[in-house]
Chains A and B, each alone.
Chain A
Amino acid sequence: MDWVREELDRVAVYLESKTPLPSAAATIELEQKNRRFVHHTLVAPAGSAVSFPNRDPIFHNVFSLSKTKTFDLGNYRQNETRTVAFAKPGIVQVYCHLHPNMAASIVVTPNRWAGKPSQAGGVYRLADVPAGEHTVVVWHPSAGYFRKKIRVGPAPQTLDFEIPVDVDQP
């Protein structure tokens, strides 16, 4: 069931709310190793900086043409890194000029309640969510957005999402 893990790695989970919720800016690494970004999808709360260290003995050139954030980090060598700050929430598709097969998605979330489901079981727990009306968003690069409203109270709640993906099953 490797493909399940693979697909789960592409999935981002975050919270949308009418009232602004606080973010938690951080510096997050997305390594490039073996001509791949080590994750398909990276979740970064708005305001975070993402560092793209090159762990390959060859050059990489990370860039994005996404509306959320357009950048081109240029060619850089092994163990060098370039960092990009993502202020605006949205999806940023990241590529490498030199390696067309390299691709990653950076999901810049509006607040700090964001993450990726666990590899085992596909579970993600949003803790300490302020009470009130929110929307839980699940995103998958090819399946798109799945939204579910939730009224958060003191009791824990569970939401189930079904994400249809086309997988060439072996």
Chain B
Amino acid sequence: MRKPPFAWRVFILAFVPVCGVLVGSFTAVRMMMGEQVKEGLRNSLRQTHEFLVRTRAAQELQNTRILGVIAENPALKAGFALMRTAGAGSEAEARRTLEDQITEISQSLGFDLVLAADEENQWIAGIARQGQGWKHVRLESLGKENSGLMRLAGRTYTVTAIPVNLAEENLGSLAVGRVFDFSEFTTPAVLTHNGRVVESNVAGADKVDVQAALAGCGSSAECELRVGGETYLSLPVQKLNLGKGYAVRSLQSVDAASLPMERVMARVLRLAGSVAVLLLVGVSFVAAKSVVRPLTDLAARLSESRSVGDLKPVRIHATTREVEALAQAFNHAAGALKDAEGRLSAAYLEFIQSMASAIDARDLYTAGHSLRVSQYSCAIGRVVGMCDEELETLRVGALLHDVGKIGVPDAVLQKPGRLTEEEFEIIKQHPVTGRKIVERVEGFHKYLPIVELHHESYDGTGYPHGLRGDEVPREVRIVRVADSYDAMTSDRPYRKGMTHAAAMEILRQCSGTHFDPELVEAFASLGPNPLPAASLVSLAEAVGTAERVTLPELAKEWLK
């Protein structure tokens, strides 16, 4: 598996934590806003509660006032008295009489339940509003309490009671009740009796649902519940004296309250979030790039150096200490390598020069030939626009071109005058011998063409293979021209070297047959002094006079 790029790691390390912080802060803001909303709901609930308590107190007061008037009604007192005196057997009629009385009284007062109890708090009569009329209440179904909330036949009443006295004597008490109506509640509310839901006006949920949802709530604590697909915050109403076992919880929809906030949050999240993420991606990307760039630069430089085979000091504008240290370490290593390489190439150059000298030393009079051929070749190479690397190959190759002559016996090589057919055949072996020598030297393979092919002619009449034209590499064709020119212009013990003009004349004559015409012209363009004077080393000149050989003879010998 490919290892992930460093940039990825940097990107992820930059992106993920900030993204996390972003998400975290959004969540925190949301939670805070949620808490804010809940606080608002709590306040609203408390206000509702206060209102409830006040309303309830006001109602109680009003009930008490009305009751106070009713309780002083002599007829009612007579009714109470009747109840006490009614004998067994007439009890039902007496109760009917009392109920009839309280019905009469309640007709116009807006109560929904009127109950009478004797002095021992036993219920003695009761009526409840039923549609347009009134109905007798089954007294057995009534509890002991005579104030607060009262459940009767599936309805809940808020009940207020007052004693009925005749002079100083207590006859009993009268209680009036109104239907405890949740419909007048503007907020959802739940009434429980001993933990059981008896009334609820929560939209979209019946009592059973509410009961189930409330199961998770404590008795008096604030609580969140889910009913009918909505979440509510619920608070029990305090200070509302409803009687034993009764409790009212009012509810506020959290969903409804937080919906606007959620909308705003969603919009903010969508907008700011996407902008932030985009920005973050961009910044992380740039950061990753900027962190990694010096490293990739360094890596690129290194791999470039490796492919070129040359370790140049890396110049990196390091923006961080680490990368700078890395670049310096690399430069140190490269410098060390370079030194080693320098030493190596110096040794190698020495070797080449000694080989070339060895060749030249065989024949005192041709001394300097290899060096000159090398120089001429380089001059031509420059004219035809060779690059430094090609020139270097040309230079060293030209120095070595006659290395094969080591295998030519001195008798043949140093023979003055004309060579026999057999001797010439031996001479013709020197490119192949040269190849055999050079191919054994590591790193010298690039010089093989020059060593082996520098006697091939442009028209294919040369040796050892008879290659023609482009079959012979250009640097070899250059060496062919340079070699011939130097041979012709060099003095020999048995002849004097030709003049430049004469040599050029012959080169031109043989252009297209022996020589590449383009290269001959290139050489010609160098003028009568192809090399700067200082660089010309002609041993023959130093030695002195030389026998003159006629041009055709010389040419014949060389062009064989």
Contacts and interface: CB of A to CB of B under 8 A. Distances in A.
B97 interface: yes
Contacts of A98: 75, 78-79, 82, 97, 101
Interface stretch (B86-94, B147-155, B180-188): B86-94
Contact of B93 (A35, A61, A78): A78
B96 interface: yes
Interface string B63-85: 00000000001110011001001
Interface residues of A, number: 14
B100 interface: yes
Interface in A49-89: 57-59, 61, 75, 77-78
A110 B78 CA distance: 34
B97 A59 contact: yes
Nearest to A96: B75
**Overall SS of chain B's interface:** helix
A61 B78 contact: yes
Contacts of A58: 93, 96-97, 100
A78 B96 CA distance: 12
Given A97-B74, A97-B75, A100-B75, A61 B101 contact: no
Q: Closest 4 interchain pairs by CB?
A: A58-B97, A97-B78, A59-B97, A100-B75
A99 interface: yes
Given A58-B96, A58-B97, A58-B100, A75 B86 contact: yes
A75 B83 CA distance: 10
Given A99-B75, A100-B75, 11 more contacts: A35-B100, A58-B93, A58-B96, A59-B93, A59-B94, A97-B74, A97-B75, A98-B75, A98-B78, A98-B97, A101-B104
A39 to B, nearest CB: 21
Interface of B: 73-75, 78-79, 82, 85-86, 90, 93-94, 96-97, 100-101, 104
Contacts of B82: 59, 61, 75, 98
A80 B201 CA distance: 52
A62 to B, nearest CB: 12
Nearest to B73: A100
Interface string A95-113: 0111111000000000000
Interface of A: 35, 57-59, 61, 75, 77-78, 96-101
Nearest to A58: B97
B100 A75 contact: no
A170 B403 CA distance: 154
Which residue, of B86, B90, B97, has the highest number of chain A Cβ atoms within 10 A?
B97
A35 B100 CA distance: 10
A21 to B, nearest CB: 40
Contacts of A57: 93, 96
A149 to B, nearest CB: 43
Nearest to B85: A75
Nearest to B99: A58
A100 B74 contact: yes
A78 B100 CA distance: 14
Contacts of A96: 75
Nearest to B75: A100
Nearest to B95: A58
B235 to A, nearest CB: 48
A35 B79 CA distance: 14
B96 to A, nearest CB: 5
Which residue, of A57, A98, A101, has the highest number of chain B Cβ atoms within 10 A?
A98
B90 A77 contact: yes
Nearest to B92: A57
A65 to B, nearest CB: 12
A101 B103 CA distance: 14
Contacts of B104: 35, 99, 101
Contacts of A59: 82, 86, 90, 93-94, 97
A97 B98 CA distance: 12
Which residue, of A35, A58, A61, A78, has the highest number of chain B Cβ atoms within 10 A?
A58
